Structure 1
Amino acid sequence: MINLAQNLEHWMSVLPQRLKSIPINQLAIPGSHDSTTYGLTGSSEIAPDAKPTIQNLKFLQPVLGPFICNWSKTQAADVRTQLANGVRYFDLRIATREGDPMFYFVHNMYAEPVNDAFTAVRTFLNDHPREVVILDCQHFYKMALKDHHRFIELLDSAFRGKLLPFTSDMKHLTLNYITETCNSQVILIYRSSNVFKWFLWPSHSFPTPWPNTVSIPDLISFITRGLKQRDLSWGFVTQCVLTPTLWFACRFLFSSLKDRCVLPLEQEKYNWLKRQSPGVGGINIVISDFVEYKNYQFCKEVINLNLKLLERPS
């Protein structure tokens, strides 16, 4: 039996030609949720996306920091390692820092500056010219219009020559077309109505409905319903993640997001994935927490779903 995930580092490059000729919004693509939280530590500074309750307790950061970190960290592997193991979609949350000209990734706490991750992506793409990466600038915090313009200039500089122009028709956007005809490798989603550039893909081009629940049955019901309602003209992001409330985290204060929300979901997540198919009306991008768990089983499962496309009559 063919294993499409045998070479995770080059999985798009080595797909059968038939799959490289299918629109990218019909392929099954693994992604990571809150992709850049691997660098969070107990001493990381509270970020502007944190709930007001946490903001008000900033003065207790030396004490609360380790607990906040345990419930904010969703990935253990850095961007370079995720790329080498099949991740092709990255969920990014960006913020400024008072008195600091740099931009940072955030999730309740400040993570690394964006430059390091963008350099890692650029280096990977230079070394893998037939791979395509989707960067989703999902949320922005403490960013005025001038900050957006500065950040977009940074993105343009970081990925110049690799950015795929936005198009209102994705039918022709196959891997072959993107990499060979357009000589592009990056789809850059920018979820802000404040700005527009030819290389920025707006929110509606890749809807990403948020389950916002700690209930596994509710999550499965939500993501199943989402696929049935997806607009076939665009991409679609399925968030296969549980989201703890502040009360839930306080209730299990000495535990972690991984122990309470990720591991309990594992089996049901794969049960659900096995029932899915890519293609018209099927799954497209699927994201998960701690994608490195069990040697990137998640990435392998998602990539191999594309085998179902080969089983259909051409």
Structure 2
Amino acid sequence: MTRYHLLRPRAASAALALALTVGLAVAAVPTPAGATVPTRTAAAPAPPAVDPWALNLQQWMWQIRNVIGDRPLNKVVMPGSHDAGSWGITDKTGVCDTASQAKMARKNPQVAAAISITQISPITEQLNSGSRYLDLRLCKQGGKWYTYHGGPLGALFFDDPATGRKGEVDDIAQWIRNHPDEVVTIELNTSVPADPDPLDTRDTQAEDNAEAVELLGKAIGTAHMADRGRLSPTSTYNQFMADGANVVLLDHKSATSHGWDWPVSNMESRDSYVENEDWGDLFKQVFKNLGDQNAVIDLISGKAIDRDEHVLTTDTGDPSKFFVLSGNVDSTLAIPDAAYDVVSNGMNYKPDGLPYMLYLARAHNIKLLEKIEGEWRYSGIAKNTNVVQIDFINMGGHRADGSLIGSGDMSAAIIANNTPVTAPGTMVGTERLADGSWTAAQALPGAYGALEFAGGERAVTAMPNGDVQFLAYGVDKHLYHNILRANGSWQGWHRVVSDVLDRQLNGGRLAMASTPDGTMQALVVDKDGNLLHALRRPDGTWAETGWAGVRDNDHHVMQAKNVSVTGLSNNSVKVLVYGRDGAMRLTERHMDGTWDQAGWQTLPGTGDAKVFFGRDLSITATPDDTLQIAAIGVDGNVWHMSRNQQGTNSTWGMPRVANNQPMRASSVSIAALMDGSAQLLAVGADGNTYHTTRAANGDWSPFGAVTGPWGRPLAATDVKMAGLPGGKTYTLVDAR
């Protein structure tokens, strides 16, 4: 099945289309029946998700320019062709005498060809299939330039002036001229004859390398080629378009001084290769053990994907460079099986009619596609990789579940990662500045080298010196502590308690608050519903009492469903809970460590209700120690009340959305600022985060949407907020 360059139609099977759309597109969160959807007034509309089934792979960059336009080119996720020119290799096209595996290729041309062909169609067809990065390897052989891989030669690349025979570069150049809105990056690597005469002072190798660059520039037209004096890997797609540049040439030999000849130092890559043995040595080993055949594709594919997964989760690329992730299999590992199969089945053996390497690549790509459409659909690729380089880029086939793979599906799945989905459970933070603007929402760094922190319940508080402290459960159910220092550096995640206590806490609700003396106080609800308290001193040590039970009015350990805490100006804290019966209760822990003798007091409900019952709650204190309490009632709406130092409560009010409707929500958090104002966050009925401000005089602004990573609404399951010095607030969400 081939769909190289047409607008990719909807699948004939509605079931297949639905399955792929669910797997790849960013789906909207449905609104529950009867829910009021808040009006989004504070954030610009999010860019649309990239629908892989609607992509025109010939011009996908132009098609999704509203998504990638202002993004640096090295953050645009694009498919790439590994050994793009290898499609022209056969066992009769010859050998590149200067290549590293020339000896093996001359001795065993069929085996060499079988493991060197990584693409099946000409480079223009690879471009039509979405590739925007070409791994181009050229060999100068007999005065002519050919593509090559390992040892075997491929097709003629530059025109042969002696015969007038046209090379493949002419079609590539024409494609580039016909697609001025598509930026193609070419990584050029050449293999040329050594200097013929040691007494000759000419550097003929340098001249040959420069010749390849000059011929490429002449064929494409240097007007199309990006000038490194004006553009860089961090220049945006729109900046490349404004400069009229749609080709980036990365030259391994830095052969000329032309501005359009970029040194390859502008790029770094992470190989999926897991072996570096010499092909010739491996080939010799094969014939010693011809009957010892391994499950080659499982070995190769599994190791390659494991290595790529490590890169995507722990290995951030240089933000100033292009970054290439190799999604291809390691042909060196294929040699033993390739040789065995070829010898056993005849020297022209082609499983399923494919050269051996393409046969292996197809099997690997099916596994790779499952990752790209699934786990890797999250933010890893777009965060630290922009080129995903693969073999057999326009293959067809079937997924593991039997559904059809079209020839452009690999490319489309990679391109869809330009609107990545933050993995559910990832902790994402953003600041609201004093002028009302928001910093870019970003995932918090992970523990043990991971790029992101994912887990369960979390809490945040701001310290008097501007630090932000965090408590959170990881996916391992352990409790961790971290600090984002005022200077922007991170302490790193540290375990807080023992394995035994972690099992007792079991991921229960968390709350934390700071006091003016620099103390951090934390509360947790354990697996039995017990409310426990701990204290971290200003010097960073934890109180020896550990996590001690907080007493209820009957002198038993307080049973709670949810908890929030805030610091007061005298270094005491107020603790707010929903008790086991669901009633809202309040008490105080004094600065000397004693708890209020009056015990826990229930707070009145809305209307004539004597007690407030609800689903979530949050408490903060303004500089005059007036308490601001936000809660979600049993009706699902956001409510607010205040309580002064004398213990007098205001009536419950209802912050509203722009159309004066109640704010329906599943999570709420409130934080006070030094000017007496407060800010409130809520996770709305649509699963997105909304923000409002309460002025010091009690007036509320309408709720507005908060923008998350990649310009989309900040989707969340839970939200926490802390007030920072200087009129800023820090928002922490658990990504939906």
Deviation at 1:288, TM superposition (A): 0.9
Q: 5+ unaligned residues in a row in structure 2: which ranges?
A: 1-24, 26-49, 159-166, 195-204, 275-298, 343-348, 397-406, 422-707, 713-736
Alignment-mate amino acid for residue 251 of structure 2: Y
Aligned-partner Cα distance in 2 for 1:16–1:162 = 19
Distance verdict in 2 for CA 1:229–1:81, change over 3 Å: same
Q: 5+ unaligned residues in a row in structure 1: which ranges?
A: none
Deviation at 1:69, TM superposition (A): 1.8
Partner of 1:200: 261
Aligned: 1:312 with 2:362: no
Aligned-partner Cα distance in 2 for 1:171–1:186 = 12
Deviation string, structure 1 residues 12-44 (Cα, Å, up to 9, x no partner): 111142321111111110111110111122211
Distance verdict in 2 for CA 1:38–1:172, change over 3 Å: closer
SS in 1 for 2:711: coil
Contact 1:40 1:109 in 2 (8 A): yes
Alignment of 1:178-197 (within 5 A): 178-179=240-241, 181-193=242-254, 195-197=256-258
Partner of 1:292: 394
Contact 2:138 2:190 in 1 (8 A): yes
Partner of 2:178: 127
Distance verdict in 2 for CA 1:168–1:128, change over 3 Å: closer
Alignment-mate amino acid for residue 154 of structure 1: L
Alignment of 1:19-58 (within 5 A): 19-48=68-97, 49-51=99-101, 53-54=103-104, 58=106
Larger radius of gyration: 2
Partner of 1:88: 132
Contact 2:114 2:338 in 1 (8 A): no
Aligned-partner Cα distance in 1 for 2:320–2:231 = 7
Partner of 1:224: 309
Aligned: 1:114 with 2:157: yes
SS in 2 for 1:201: strand
Deviation at 1:171, TM superposition (A): 6.8
Aligned: 1:3 with 2:51: yes
Aligned: 1:166 with 2:228: yes
Distance verdict in 2 for CA 1:279–1:173, change over 3 Å: farther
Deviation at 1:53, TM superposition (A): 4.4
Deviation at 1:118, TM superposition (A): 2.2
Aligned-partner Cα distance in 1 for 2:189–2:118 = 15
Work out the percentage of aligned pairs sharing the same amino acid. 19
Distance verdict in 2 for CA 1:156–1:53, change over 3 Å: closer
Distance verdict in 2 for CA 1:221–1:167, change over 3 Å: farther
Aligned: 1:104 with 2:146: yes
Aligned: 1:275 with 2:375: yes
Distance verdict in 2 for CA 1:25–1:264, change over 3 Å: same
Aligned-partner Cα distance in 2 for 1:168–1:220 = 37
Partner of 1:244: 331
Deviation at 1:78, TM superposition (A): 0.6
Deviation string, structure 1 residues 81-108 (Cα, Å, up to 9, x no partner): 112221111111111113x2x2111112
Deviation string, structure 1 residues 276-311 (Cα, Å, up to 9, x no partner): 336763320011111111112211111111132797
Aligned-partner Cα distance in 2 for 1:171–1:132 = 12
TM-score normalized by the length of structure 1 = 0.87
- Flag the structure with higher helix content: 1
Contact 2:77 2:414 in 1 (8 A): yes
Aligned-partner Cα distance in 2 for 1:71–1:27 = 31
Partner of 1:79: 123
How many residues are aligned here? 304
Alignment-mate amino acid for residue 176 of structure 2: L
Deviation at 1:168, TM superposition (A): 9.3
Partner of 1:266: 365
TM-score normalized by the length of structure 2 = 0.39
Deviation at 1:52, TM superposition (A): 5.4
- Flag the structure with higher strand content: 2
Q: Give the stretch that moved more between structures: 129-138 or 202-211.
A: 202-211
Distance verdict in 2 for CA 1:94–1:6, change over 3 Å: same
Distance verdict in 2 for CA 1:221–1:138, change over 3 Å: farther
Aligned-partner Cα distance in 1 for 2:266–2:82 = 18
